[in-house]
Amino acid sequence: MKNQTLLLIAAAIIALGAGIMVKRFNSLPQATGQARDLLPAFTLPDVAGKQRSSSEWRGRVLVINFWATWCPPCREEIPEFIALQERYGDKGLQFIGIAIEEQQPVAEYLQQIDDNYPMLIAGDDGVGLSILMGNLMQAVPFTVVVSRQGEFMHHQPGEFSREDLLAVVEPLL
């Protein structure tokens, strides 16, 4: 009897969690007027508080990376992204970092590195935006590559190696 009660409670907790996740996913804002395979328009503040719109980078190949300062693999990718932005920026490549945390820890972290691409602050809303971009597992880091026409070309949950990133990006340049 006691085991059956525990089993019933565990099943109820799992069902509740699944229901919450489904409701959260279904209540996400939809990208109006755009197909699911096109980059949704978004506006987020950068570390200085200036509002930045995705339309600023229209016509460029975008590498959009969702990250957090508390995520070791995220911090490992950033120096490589900086180097690739330096090397390929004049060929139409644009990296965009979207931090899924608050401004202060991001600003403190960025003081330690010499970043050369926009770092935007999304806080918890960044999770919803990453889901709209295909991050159904809610992985961090999560990176998408977007063509010059705004089409999603690649989704990368977890770390993105230099070799794999270049294999996706170079043909688009």
Q: Which domain holds residue 99?
A: 34-172
Same domain, 38 and 13: no
Same domain, 61 and 146: yes
Same domain, 4 and 57: no
pLDDT digits (tens, 9 = 90+) for 138-155: 999 999 999 999 999 999
Q: How far apart are CA 89 and CA 16, in angstroms?
A: 46
Output the domain CATH number for residue 90.
3.40.30.10
Same domain, 98 and 146: yes
Count Cβ atoms within 10 A of the Cβ of residue 156 and give its class: 0-12 exposed, 13-18 middle, 19 or more buried: buried
Same domain, 75 and 142: yes
Q: How far apart are CA 33 and CA 170, in angstroms?
A: 29
Same domain, 44 and 20: no
Q: Is residue 130 a contact partner of residue 66, using CB atoms and an 8 Å limit?
A: yes
Q: Is the dihedral of CA 63, 52, 76, 91 positive or negative?
A: positive
Same domain, 2 and 87: no
Q: How far apart are CA 41 and CA 15, in angstroms?
A: 34
Same domain, 42 and 25: no
Same domain, 69 and 130: yes
Closest CA to 130 of 164, 96, 161: 96
How many domains are contained in the chain?
A: 2
Residues (pLDDT < 70) of the chain are 1-36
> What's the pLDDT at 2?
62
Same domain, 19 and 67: no
> What's the pLDDT at 68?
96
Q: Is residue 125 a contact partner of residue 146, using CB atoms and an 8 Å limit?
A: no
Same domain, 24 and 52: no
Q: Is residue 41 a contact partner of residue 54, using CB atoms and an 8 Å limit?
A: yes
> What's the pLDDT at 124?
87
> What's the pLDDT at 15?
46
Q: How far apart are CA 40 and CA 133, in angstroms?
A: 8
> What's the pLDDT at 28?
39
Same domain, 40 and 17: no
> What's the pLDDT at 13?
57
Q: Is residue 12 a contact partner of residue 71, using CB atoms and an 8 Å limit?
A: no
Structure tokens given for 172: 């688009």
> What's the pLDDT at 114?
87
Residues 6+ away with beta carbon under 8 Å from 61: 92, 93, 94, 145, 146, 147, 148, 169, 172, 173
> What's the pLDDT at 47?
93
> What's the pLDDT at 37?
80
> What's the pLDDT at 7?
52
User: How far does CA 152 lie from the centroid of its chain?
Assistant: 13
